[in-house]
Chains A and B, each alone.
Chain A
Amino acid sequence: MMGTILPVLASLLLFPGGLTVFLTGMAYEWMNRKLLARFQTRVGPRWFQPLADVIKLLAKEEVVPEDVHPGLFTALPVVALAGCLTAALYVPLWGVGPLYNFPGDLIVTLFLLSLLTLCLGIAGANTFDRFSLVGATRAFTQLFSYEAPFLLALLGPAFVAGSWQIDEIMASGAARWVILTQPIGFIVAVIGLIGKLELPPFDAPEAETEIVAGSLTEYSGRGLALFHMGKIIELVLGITLIAALYLGGLYSPLDFLIKTIALLIVIVILEALFARLRIDQSVGLWWRYGTLLVLLQWLGTIFWKGVAI
C-alpha cells in the first residue's frame, strides 16, 4: 500500500506537481519582470524577489474588512490556487507529460484555469470597496470577452487532432506544428492568455491609475499571496498549454524551456509595447476581431477536413 502511495504523493507534491509548480511559477514571474525591466532599460528584480514577495505576504497580517463574508473572503484565494494546482496535473509541465489524463481533460483544464478569474471577480464583489467592485465588474466583463475566443483558439488543435485529451493532441501535433496551419488561432491564444492573466495591455481590471488594484484592493497578507501564486502558476500553465498545442508538443525539459521561454518573451514584448486598453475597447477587440477571426479559421479547418476526407 505504502509503495503505491509514496510515488503518487511525491509526484503530486514534489515533481512535477506541487513544489515544482510553485518554483516554476516564481521563476517565470521573475523572468517576466526582469525582461520587462530590461526592455524599459531598468535593472529589474533580483532572482529571489518573487519568493521574497510571497514569504513577506505570507508573514503579514491579513486584514479582513468589515461587511464582507469572512468565509468567502478566506476561501476564495484557496479555491483559486487549488484550481490552478489541479489544472497543473493535466498539463505537460517540464515536458514530462501530464501527470493524469482522461478524455476531455483539455476542457477541464481550461475551466480550472478560469476558476482564478472567477474567484477574483467574486472576491472583488464580496467587499464593499468601490475600487474592488469596479475591478470585479471589469474582471467579469473581460472574462466573458476573452474566454470565448481563447477557448475556441485552444480547441483548434484539438479539433484537428480529433481528441479532447492534451497528450493525444500533442502527439498528433508533433508531426506538424499547428502554429503553421492555424496562425490566427495561435495569435488569439497568446493574446487571450494575456487577457486571462490581466497583464498589460489588458490590465483594465486592475488598472493601478484608475482603481488601485481592482478586485484585490482589500486583500493583504495570505489572501493576496495565494491569489498571486495562483496567477503566476496560471502564467506557466497557459504558456505550457499554448506551447504544447501549437508549438509541436513538449517532450523534454529542454524542449519545455526553449518553447515556453520563447513564448514568454513574446508576451513580455506585447506587454511592453502597448498602452492599456479601456474595458470597452478590449471587449470590442475580442468580440469584433478575436472571435470572428477564430471562427473564420474554424470554418477553414472544417472545410479542409471535409476536403481531406
Chain B
Amino acid sequence: MKFGTLLQDLARSAVHNPITEKYPFEVRATPARLRGRLNWDAENCIGCGLCVKDCPSQAIELIVIDKKTKQFQLFYHLNRCTFCAQCVYSCRQECLSLSRDEWELAALNQEDFHIQYEREVDEVPCVAATDPAEA
C-alpha cells in the first residue's frame, strides 16, 4: 500500500513537453505504407474490373470505352472509400496505388469527392503511347 505512486511520473511530465501533436501546425511524417487517396495508373490497366468487384464500399467505377485501344474511365468516390487497399491487392497489373501523401481529404462540396481518372488518348494512337498517363 502506497500513496501517490504516480508522483514520479508527474514530476517527469511537468518538465517534459506535452506529447500532444499540434496537428494543423505540425504535421508528422506519414509512414511509408499509409493508405491515402487512390491513384490510378491508366497505362497498364486492362479493364478486368477486379478492383470494382472486390471493393467493399463500391467506391470504384470502371467504364470501358474501348478495350482494344485501352480507353477506360475510372470514377473514384473518395467519400465512400474505406482505404482498405483491397483494390490495390486485387489488381494484377499494379496500376492502382494508395497515396502516401494525399491524406487530408476533407472537402466542402460533394463534387470534390467524385474523382474522374481518364487516360489521355490523342487522336492518333501511336502518339498516345509516349504520353505519360495522367494520374
A and B touch in the complex (CB under 8 A): yes
Chain A residues at the B interface, C-beta cutoff of 8 Å: 37-44, 269, 272-274
The 9 closest A-B pairs by CB, nearest first: A273-B4, A41-B13, A43-B18, A43-B20, A39-B10, A41-B19, A41-B18, A39-B13, A42-B18
Q: How far is the CA of A272 from the CA of B5 in the complex (A)?
A: 11
On B, residues with C-beta under 8 Å from A are 3-4, 6-7, 10, 13-14, 16, 18-20, 22
Inter-chain contact total with CB atoms closer than 8 Å: 29
Residues in chain A near residue B22, CB distance under 8 A? 43
User: Which of B3, B4, B7, B16 sits near A41, CB closer than 8 Å?
Assistant: B16
The docked-state distance in angstroms from the alpha carbon of A44 to that of B14 is: 12
Give the CA-CA distance A38 to B7 in the complex, in Å.
13
Which residues in A have their C-beta under 8 angstroms from that of B20? 41-43
Partner of A38, one of B3, B6, B13: B13
Main secondary structure of the interface of B (DSSP, over half): loop
Nearest A residue (CB) for B12: A41
Q: How far is the CA of A270 from the CA of B92 in the complex (A)?
A: 61
B10 in contact with A269 (CB, 8 Å):
yes
Q: Can you name the residue of chain A whose Cβ is closest to the Cβ of B20?
A: A43
Q: Which of A42, A43, A273 contacts B10 (CB 8 A)?
A: A273
Interface residue from A37, A273, A274 paired with B18 (Cβ < 8 Å): A37
B13 with A273: CB separation less than 8 A: no
Q: How far is the CB of B91 from chain A (nearest CB, A)?
A: 43
**Can you name 13 extra interface pairs (CB under 8 A) apart from A39-B10, A43-B18, A269-B10?**
A37-B18, A38-B13, A39-B13, A39-B14, A41-B16, A42-B18, A42-B20, A43-B20, A43-B22, A272-B6, A272-B10, A273-B10, A274-B4
